[in-house]
Amino acid sequence: MTNDYYILTNQISKMNKMVVIEQDFSSLQKTKVSQEILGNKVSENEITAFTKTNAQVSYDLNQMKLEVDSINKKLIISELPKADIRITPNVEIQSMDDSFFNRIDDEQIKKVTKSAKDDAYKRVDQNKLRNEGRKQLLENLNSIFVLAKALNYEIVDDTKTLNLSDLSKL
């Protein structure tokens, strides 16, 4: 019986932070920048920015709370970690219509870059990403659940968030 305990706890301890889902997005954004003198537009330039965005959902499994009750042969899940969502946009200026008389300054480039990053954050569907990450987390946890079932342990979900009826198919 103690061998079962060590097998399960060893398998659980091998799990640490894992990136569950990772997605990449890209977009092209064209921005017109105009120069005005006394309220009249004297020239217009265009800046093209290319944005590559990486979005990740990860879980720190060190924050997961599992208890192995070897006497009653139960694997008790008392807490699952929260999803950590990271969105990392990388903006590259692809082209600028820059002229001798109408220079594009650093402030305009910063505005275009900020706008492109803001747009990237909005484009990521965080709810969808979180749901897909949760599904993947549960698939990854299934390896522990399969092992527990093979050792005739009952899996107890104190979080009330897992669908343990799916485990009957294992």
Separation in Å, CA 21 to CA 5, 40, 46, 74, 134 = 31, 50, 36, 30, 9
Q: Which of 72, 89, 86, 105 is nearest to 26 (CA)?
A: 89
Q: Record the tokens describing residue 31, joined without a space.
A: 């921005």
Look at residue 69 and tell me whether its pLDDT is greater than 60: yes
Q: How far apart are CA 170 and CA 165, in angstroms?
A: 10
Residue 52 carries which DSSP code? E
> pLDDT of 70-117, one tens digit each?
999 999 999 999 999 999 999 999 877 766 666 778 888 899 999 999
- Please indicate whether residue 169 or residue 61 has the higher confidence score (pLDDT): 61
How high does pLDDT run on average in the chain? 85
Look at residue 142 and tell me whether its pLDDT is greater than 90: no
Q: What is the pLDDT of residue 113?
A: 94
Record the pTM.
0.73
Read off the pLDDT of each residue in 26-51 and give the average, rounded to a whole number.
82
